[in-house]
């Protein structure tokens, strides 16, 4: 069991997922040296809770995709050790939440599964890491449409999918992210949801999400493999993706397991450059 942590649960206790979030937080604190941070009191007792977070790794438990707990953590500039979203966990375990504010049988089963997952979790597997051992200093080609300038990195080691995500491949490792086309269309990016460290991701599988006031964008992995690191800076500063989605705004690093086959469904700089120009022209045509 993860212990000696600070637990920040969802404050949406008028919803079933929020009530389940609270139940998980309470269970985590029953027999371990963990401390719950009340999301309501945090706004009026900041000094007390900042001290707790400063001394303990932080686990954030969101109820749903509204992510009120994650937003509070971002607002307070907190470094997150692990994130859990109740609705996503329910989906992953094929469990339908009861819908009530008092946990029903299905909700209790989900709570037990989440706690069991934490018990069996390898050491540091949930740590949102900022390992940066792949150097990405790209050369770019650009084109302009109206007031917008689009940059596309070029080189033999960088690949793209048609979902506007890139992979920079070194040996059996790849760093991935979204392209300039994505961040220009989303405008100001407000939130970043990383993939789990240790997660096995298929090519074209989900590798996290980014969200702006306009929409949510699912990051579609260009490659197959195991997530070995994520860019923790994006938790506090998702706007880094707007500033440079290739160098400072990268998303994750992946240990490749099937790159020879992955390459068949990826494109290089020349084809992607022309693809983006067509997409931009269609949007503004």
Question: Would the pTM of this model clear 0.85, i.e. be above it?
Answer: no
The single residue listed with the structure tokens 């789990």 is 196
Please report how the helices 16-30 and 105-119 are oriented relative to each other, as an axis angle in degrees rounded to 10.
Answer: 40
Query: Residue 262 to residues 167, 215, 234, 236: CA-CA distances in angstroms?
Result: 11, 28, 27, 32
Question: Measured between alpha carbons, how far is 59 from 36 in angstroms, rounded to an integer?
Answer: 10
- pLDDT reported for residue 106: 93
Question: Measured between alpha carbons, how far is 76 from 73 in angstroms, rounded to an integer?
Answer: 5
CATH number 2.40.50.100 is the correct assignment for the domain at 139-284: yes
Query: Is 90 exceeded by the pLDDT of residue 222?
Result: yes
Task: Indicate the average pLDDT of the chain.
Answer: 87
DSSP for residue 266: -
Encode burial over 30-44: b for 16+ CB neighbours within 10 A, e otherwise. Answer: eeeebbbbebeebee
DSSP for residue 262: H
pLDDT digits (tens, 9 = 90+) for 138-148: 889 999 988 88
Query: Residue 166: which of 154, 180, 178 has the closest Cα?
Result: 178
Query: Is 60 exceeded by the pLDDT of residue 173?
Result: yes
Query: Residue 84: which of 216, 196, 235 has the closest Cα?
Result: 196
Band (135; pLDDT cuts 50, 70, 90): low
Range in 23-37, 154-168, 241-255 with the lowest mean pLDDT: 23-37
């Amino acid at each position: 069991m993860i212990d000696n942590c600070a637990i920040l649960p969802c404050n949406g206790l008028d919803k079933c997922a929020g009530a389940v979030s609270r139940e998980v937080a309470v269970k985590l604190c029953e027999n371990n040296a963990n401390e719950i941070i009340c999301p309501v009191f945090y706004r009026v007792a900041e000094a007390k809770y900042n001290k707790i977070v400063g001394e303990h790794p932080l686990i954030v438990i969101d109820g749903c995709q509204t992510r009120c707990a994650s937003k509070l953590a971002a607002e307070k500039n907190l470094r997150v050790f692990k994130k859990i979203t109740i609705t996503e966990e329910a989906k992953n375990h094929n469990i339908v939440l009861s819908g009530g504010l008092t946990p029903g049988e299905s909700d209790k089963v989900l709570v037990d599964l989440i706690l069991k997952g934490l018990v069996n979790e390898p050491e540091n597997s949930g740590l949102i890491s900022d390992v940066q051992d792949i150097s990405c200093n790209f050369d770019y080609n650009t084109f302009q449409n109206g007031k917008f300038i689009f940059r596309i990195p070029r080189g033999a080691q960088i690949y793209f999918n048609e979902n506007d995500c890139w992979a920079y491949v070194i040996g059996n490792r790849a760093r991935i992210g979204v392209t300039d086309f994505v961040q220009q269309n989303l405008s100001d990016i407000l939130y970043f949801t990383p993939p789990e460290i240790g997660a096995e991701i298929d090519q074209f599988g989900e590798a996290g999400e980014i969200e702006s006031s306009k929409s949510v964008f699912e990051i579609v992995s260009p490659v197959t493999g195991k997530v070995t690191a994520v860019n923790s800076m994006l938790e506090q500063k998702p706007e880094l993706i707007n500033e440079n989605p290739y160098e400072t705004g990268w998303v994750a690093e992946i240990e490749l397991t099937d790159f020879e086959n992955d390459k068949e469904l990826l494109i290089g700089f020349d084809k992607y450059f022309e693809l983006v120009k067509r997409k931009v022209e269609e949007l503004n045509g």
